[in-house]
Chain A
Amino acid sequence: MMNLLHISPIHASLAVLLFPLAAFLYQALRGKQDQSGIVGLLGILLSTAASAFFVFFPIWQQTPVEATASWFTVGKHTFSAGILLNNLTVLMQLLVCIIALPVHIYSRVYMKGDPGIHRYWMYLSLFCFAMLALCVANNLLLMYVFWELVGFASYLLIGFWFTKDAAVQANKKAFIVNRIGDIGFLIGIALVYAHMGTLNLSELFGKQSPLFEQIPLWHTERWMTYAGLAFFVGAMAKSAQFPFHVWLPDAMEGPTSVSSLIHAATMVAAGVFLLATVFPLFNESILLVIAIIGTITALTASYFALAQQDIKKVLAFSTISQLGFMVVAVGIGAWNAAIFHLVTHAFFKCLLFLCAGAIIHEMAHAIPAAAKVDPQDMRNMGGLRRFMPYTFILMVIASLALAGFPLTSGFLSKDSIVIAAFEWAVERGGTYLIIPIVLVLVSFLTAFYIGRMIFKVFFGKPKLWSDEKVTVFHEAPKGMWIPMAFLGLCSLFFVFSFNPISHQNAALMQGLTLLTGFQPIDSLHMFIPIVLITGSAIGWWLGYRWYVQGKYPFQENNAWVQHAQKQAYINEFYQFIIVRSTLYLSRGLYWFDHYIVDGLTNGAASVTRAVGRVSAWVDRNLVDGLVNLVAQTSYYAGHLLRWVQNGRLQNYMGFAFTMVLFGILYLVLR
């Protein structure tokens, strides 16, 4: 019996990704007959168990394990497929499992009765497979494969309700924007391959790698800069960094459970995971670019989140903003902090979405179908605290975690990023300080908008119902709030660290040690959290004052609010500048193709035909004309002579005599 438990982590982790794959294949074959999703749930359950007990615990803080099998050979290079298990990858794999499991349970209730539910389970299992495989892939090509596959699954799930126009527009947009990133990733892969001759992660970045030995030397190479940039573009698209963030808010057209799993917790974080994986490639200048982009993303997204009315859009921008935090962390070299935040963020953001889903679910059930009210619009909510107490509590926990209040996981991870950013900036001094200061500002904004959401949704008076009709609105069903409660538990500090105020003690951070280039500054570890907490508290207070007490200071059509709500018109900008110009270009080129290129072909054909006609004319009239002329001439000559031979004796006589006469004349006159 004990033998059975000695499964090698490699096999176990293979099993982890094969369970959802098997579930996907089974559901794909069963088609419409499989509505319950029990197979998908079973798959992810087994995966979670295997991942936790047979992969995570044996590997965490132990020596990394790798297994490869040759995949195919091109030229002299053999491309391998394999599994790499180290602290980072097993952590990611476990995280994905742990987030996916409650989402599956939640979906069983949330998606019940949807006519396309069999597709939903299928796609979800596909996503889980691809995402779990992405985490443990041991070479960049394989990673790319699953990188795109998660994007594909995300495409399918965003467009799950494919009869809705907005949904299909959104999934197209998501895929295409992600494709831009994929191209970057592919270019990065190609560059690495061209210069290093391998794509295997441990060969590239392991201790035996030439890269490892002489990183500073390599970093001066130009191609490194380009490769780093290319990988970063890949990560930017996947992790919705400015200016590629536009797909994520639109992706909220998918079912909310999907948004929570894919577009909040796991897939979008894959960009950060990629950055952490290829971190040694980045030289100073690229890291700075990464930090700057992350900062811009965090700032703009939190700014846009301030004015959104759609509850899911608020959360979407909040996700983008938090991803910006993680990217900044990578940019300053503290990718362990980024991963830490990735993990904590996954839990509370997933929870936020699930809570939002519960609210939307109840709203949609309570609103009469004819009323044409958007169940996601926060302006239609209010006072839900009394009807949905569990949801309320859980959402508050998640919001506090997002805002970074003490005792929550968000406090630990966010502080670790901000502190690292300060330490990094102080080391460099001067203008670099802008980055941490912006991050602090973004933290305040985050606290404000998430407070705004809580207050608008749960406080005040219900907008659509009077208090008496309580019956139409009730708490989310058990199948939904139990997984939510689990996530709520995971959003608290003790899951990560027994010391609620020090991120350095977090087990996670200890698992991902790395040498940062900057000195820790102890005083910041006191100062920063205090500033952040104070700022966040002020943010919540403001939110309470404005939205619960009704002292909202702005006009309805305040320019800034409008600007933020319209996302600074970036979508419109893209639509008008990029999409349109591409279409015009394509039409122009088609015109060119049709009239110029094909026109030349047809022109050549008509010229040939014209030449043919000319030569036919020449042939008929000149060449043949000459022949005919000769023929006609002899014909007329013959005709003329024939007239002499008319059978009249008298004529013959006359001629004969004339000739004789001539003969005589000739003889006479000679």
Chain B
Amino acid sequence: MIPITHFLAVSACIFCIGLYAVISKRNAIMILVGIELMINAAILNLVAFGRYDKADYGGQVFALFAIVLAAAAVAVGLSIILMTYRKYKTINPDQITDLRD
């Protein structure tokens, strides 16, 4: 039996990778990818903790929900990026500074 700690460690790693991507990448797509990674890390945790809810499988259910929602969010995100690209000809968030003072 694989102890829960291993799941959590993997999840933390994925989360960190995602976080890194979100903070440091200069490409909106890559940031989106990072967000997805972070969501996936969370999903992994949900699944891992799901073993303590064997009666309802609440973990797995939440994970499914999250996957669906993440897919929808990615779709929305990608479309925003696309629109942004059309307007600014770039998807580097640093260069989009219209709201800056």
Chain A residues within CB distance 8 Å of chain B: 646-650, 653-654, 657
Contacts and interface: CB of A to CB of B under 8 A. Distances in A.
A657 B100 contact: no
A647 B19 contact: no
Contact of B100 (A646, A650, A654): A646
B23 A647 contact: no
A653 B21 CA distance: 11
19 contacts: A646-B100, A647-B97, A647-B99, A647-B100, A647-B101, A648-B93, A648-B94, A649-B93, A650-B22, A650-B23, A650-B24, A650-B31, A650-B93, A650-B94, A653-B22, A653-B23, A654-B23, A657-B19, A657-B23
Contacts of A650: 22-24, 31, 93-94
A378 B25 CA distance: 133
B68 to A, nearest CB: 25
Interface string B74-101: 0000000000000000000110010111
Contacts of B24: 650
A649 B96 CA distance: 11
A648 B101 CA distance: 12
B56 to A, nearest CB: 30
Contacts of B101: 647
B36 to A, nearest CB: 15
Sorting the interface of chain B by its residue count into under 10, 10 to 19, 20 to 34 or 35 or more gives 10 to 19
Given A650-B24, A653-B22, 7 more contacts: A646-B100, A647-B97, A647-B100, A648-B93, A650-B23, A650-B31, A653-B23
Contacts of B100: 646-647
A151 B19 CA distance: 122
A389 B42 CA distance: 161
Q: Is chain A's binding surface mostly helix, strand, loop or mixed?
A: helix
Interface string B13-34: 0000001001110000001000
Contacts of B93: 648-650
A141 to B, nearest CB: 98
A646 B101 CA distance: 9
Contacts of B22: 650, 653
Nearest to A655: B23
A646 B94 CA distance: 10
A648 B93 CA distance: 7
A657 B20 CA distance: 11
A648 B26 CA distance: 11
Contacts of A647: 97, 99-101
A650 B23 CA distance: 5
The 4 closest A-B pairs by CB, nearest first: A647-B100, A654-B23, A650-B23, A653-B23
A649 B100 CA distance: 12
A397 B93 CA distance: 141
Contacts of A657: 19, 23
Contacts of A646: 100
B62 to A, nearest CB: 22
A399 B8 CA distance: 157
A641 to B, nearest CB: 14
A655 to B, nearest CB: 10
A662 to B, nearest CB: 15
B17 to A, nearest CB: 14
Contacts of B23: 650, 653-654, 657
Contacts of A648: 93-94
Nearest to A650: B23
Nearest to B24: A650
Contacts of B99: 647
Nearest to B101: A647
A117 to B, nearest CB: 104
A650 B97 CA distance: 13
A657 B24 CA distance: 13
Nearest to A646: B100
Nearest to A651: B23
A548 B51 CA distance: 173
A372 to B, nearest CB: 105
A668 to B, nearest CB: 14
A660 to B, nearest CB: 11
A669 B54 CA distance: 34
A654 B22 CA distance: 9
From B24, B31, B94, B99, name the one whose CB has the most chain A CB atoms within 10 angstroms.
Answer: B94
Nearest to B97: A647
A145 B24 CA distance: 116
A647 B95 CA distance: 11
A657 B94 CA distance: 19
Nearest to A649: B93
Nearest to A657: B19
A36 B39 CA distance: 140
A319 B94 CA distance: 123
A647 B23 CA distance: 13
A437 B31 CA distance: 144
B3 to A, nearest CB: 21
Nearest to A658: B23
A654 B24 CA distance: 9
A653 B22 CA distance: 8
A653 B94 CA distance: 13
Name, among B22, B23, B31, B100, the residue most crowded by chain A CB atoms within 10 Å (CB to CB): B23
A649 B19 CA distance: 13
Nearest to A652: B23
A339 to B, nearest CB: 117
- Most chain B CB neighbours (cut-off 10 Å) among A646, A650, A654: A650
Contacts of B94: 648, 650
Contacts of A653: 22-23
Contacts of B31: 650
A119 to B, nearest CB: 98
A653 B93 CA distance: 13
A647 B93 CA distance: 10
B54 to A, nearest CB: 30
A317 to B, nearest CB: 111
B18 to A, nearest CB: 11
B73 to A, nearest CB: 16
A659 to B, nearest CB: 14
A320 B62 CA distance: 148
A657 B38 CA distance: 13
A647 B97 CA distance: 7
Contacts of A649: 93
A255 B31 CA distance: 128
Nearest to B94: A648
A181 B94 CA distance: 109
Contacts of B97: 647
A348 B22 CA distance: 141
A48 to B, nearest CB: 117
A463 to B, nearest CB: 119
A505 B68 CA distance: 169
